[in-house]
Amino acid sequence: MRQGSLSASLPRSPVAARVIGALLAMVLATCLSGCGAINRVPTLEEQAKSSWSEVQNQYQRRADLIPNLVETVKGYAKQEQDTLTKVVEARAKATSVQVDASTVSDPAKFKQFQDAQNQLSGALGRLLATVEAYPDLKSNQNFLALQSQLEGTENRIAVARRDYIQAVQAYNTEIRTIPGRWIAGWFYPDAKPMETFTATPNSEKPPNVKF
């Protein structure tokens, strides 16, 4: 009889279940906030976004160097017009594709950005390979300065990509594992996994732009 009374006294309605769930969530939130866990999701998200901004900055820096490089090469190697045109076209495409921090979780847009940058890298590499045939260009002071800047930029791109990949890995792991998954679901429902760069041949090291 006592067992039946106890069973009958337990809340069975959906409303009661939601109230209990909310109370449990509040208790858990209080406990988690004490150790900073409740802020970990947005903290990691902001770190990943900051790292992405640096990736964009370095790619833009490379894009800014290319017009000068093309003009310098053109002055010594006008017969390489087809190669020069492809670099200019690839640069235009790469700079027209933008993936800001608010859309970096979109797989299609991110792939579009990465593909455009890879195409520019390929076109730029083919242009730089032609320089071997022009000794006077290789010794031109303006070209040497651009070479140094481009080499430094490629190194910074590699570092920025590495930092971004690590930041995204930490963020994605947090929102996919417990308790981060619970926290994101309760308090940050808009938190979504971010995209990261896929491996490409020799992507672990920057292109060799020395001559």
Structural domain includes residue 98: yes
Alpha carbon 87 to its chain centroid, in Å, reads 23
List C-alpha distances in Å: 209 to 106, 138, 148.
32, 12, 9
Q: Across 10-14, 15-19, 89-93, which has the greatest mean pLDDT?
A: 89-93
pTM: 0.78
209 φ/ψ angles, rounded to the nearest 5 degrees: -115, 20
Q: What pLDDT shows up at residue 110?
A: 94
Structural domain includes residue 81: yes
Structural domain includes residue 7: no
* Gap between the terminal Cα atoms of the chain: 92
CATH number at residue 181: 1.20.1440.20
Structural domain includes residue 39: no
Q: What domain range is 71 assigned to?
A: 47-187
Structural domain includes residue 164: yes
Structural domain includes residue 3: no
Structural domain includes residue 157: yes
pLDDT tens digits for 43-94? 999 999 999 999 999 999 999 999 999 999 999 988 899 999 999 999 999 9
Q: Looking at the 3D structure of the chain, how many domains does it have?
A: 1
Structural domain includes residue 38: no
Which residues lie below 8 Å from residue 62, measured CB to CB, with a gap of 6+?
Answer: 120, 150, 153, 154, 157
- Nearest to residue 128, comparing CAs of 117, 140, 137? 137
Tokens at residue 207, please? 């292109």
pLDDT tens digits for 146-202? 999 999 999 999 999 999 999 999 999 999 999 889 989 989 999 999 999 986 655
Q: What pLDDT shows up at residue 23?
A: 64
Asked whether the predicted pLDDT for residue 4 surpasses 50, the reply is: no
